[in-house]
């Protein structure tokens, strides 16, 4: 294997494990701010995926993977904001009728 590929896979595995452990230990009171933070990170992923997809790399694989990354990131951003909005609506007081 390529040394660069090995180091990239190691960093990916380490980030996945660390991210899982950090999110798993978050108290329930902090889930809404955490969702907002992950939405911001996903938005950065959208920008990066768009940049990679349209960077002039004419290989089909780069375009397909970039398109998949843009689609997945946008689904994550929209879904996260919808869930955050729904959670915040649960804490609003209802009007008396």
Residue 80, exposed/middle/buried by CB under 10 A (0-12, 13-18, 19+)? buried
Q: Residue 57 — pLDDT band, cuts 50, 70, 90?
A: low
pLDDT in tens, 5-33: 888 888 889 988 888 887 777 776 666 66
Three-state DSSP at 12 gives helix
The ranges assigned to domains in the chain are: 28-90
Tokens 């660069």 belong to which residue? Answer: 4
More reliable by pLDDT, 69 or 31? 69
In b/e form, how buried is each residue of 19-39, taking b as 16+ CB within 10 angstroms? eeeeeeeeeeeeebeebeebb
Q: What is the pLDDT of residue 23?
A: 73
DSSP 2: -
- 71 token code pair: 């689609």
Tokens 């946008």 belong to which residue? Answer: 74
């Amino acid at each position: 294997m390529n040394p660069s590929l090995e180091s990239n896979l190691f960093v990916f595995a380490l980030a996945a494990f660390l991210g899982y452990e950090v999110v798993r230990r978050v108290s329930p009171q902090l889930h809404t701010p955490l969702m907002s933070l992950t939405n911001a990170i996903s938005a950065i992923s959208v920008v990066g995926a768009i940049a990679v997809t349209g960077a002039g790399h004419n290989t089909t694989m780069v375009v397909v993977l970039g398109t998949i990354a843009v689609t997945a990131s946008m689904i994550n951003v929209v879904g996260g904001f919808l869930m955050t909005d729904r959670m915040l609506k649960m804490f609003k007081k209802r009007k008396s009728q």
